Amino acid sequence: MSFFWFPIEHLPIIIIIMLLSFSVHEFAHAWTAYKFGDDTAYKEGRVTLNPLAHLDWMGMLFLLLAGFGWAKPVPVRRSRFKNPRLMSIFVTAAGPISNLILGFVFLLFLDLLNVFGVFNHASSDFIINLAYFTHYWMAINIALFLFNLIPIPPLDGYRILEEFLSVRTRMKIQEMGQWITFAFLLIIFIPPLRDATIGQLMSLRSPIMSGMVEILDPIFGENNIAKLIFQILRW
């Protein structure tokens, strides 16, 4: 019996994908804030793709054990923005959107490699391994996109929602912060609750991936290797 959420033999590649995906996510927050005039994250060395700058060991452990996790939050001072509400929304949304873009760009990259014949002489074992890598790359990045949009503190979805709430409402939510976190952990670790809530949200991964493949299909046609990979996996 494995204590990990993922098959133990796949852990090395999953850890690599997580580090890259988390790094791009947090970099997107930090870079966007910097471009909008807040250099707080820049001074702390967070405008970088170096995974060590963003790694939270506890968040990584939770992701391996429970299938969800987090990176080190990027510090943002919204008072430094010319338009605090609008720019804060852009900075917050940059993280989840970056993961969605990562997924699409990876599929595009695969199709471009296929156009230039990189996979022409690839063995069946190579294609199967590539399929599994693609599976995890897409699943993790789209999960980060969807998961972070949940409007529960401290996720990005709540930070966006917070910009539309009154000060009084925000204060009440802060007062209930510990209870909200406790309830959220119960949902995560109790399978029936998880399946009925987060499980339903994660079910959107498949149509999102299918949509990306369909976007690329008219462009690459028979060279759409992403479509072949999803057929292999029967996603």
> Annotated active-site positions, please?
26
Sign of the dihedral through C-alpha 116, 120, 121, 124: positive
Q: Which of 25, 35, 16 is nearest to 74 (CA)?
A: 25
Tokens read off for 82: 């010319």
Measure the CA–CA gap between 190 and 183, rounded to whole angstroms. Answer: 11
- For every residue of 40-64, DSSP letters joined together read HHHHTT-SS--HHHH--HHHHHHHH
Name residue, tokens 């890598």: 133
* Tally of CB atoms within 10 A around 132: 15
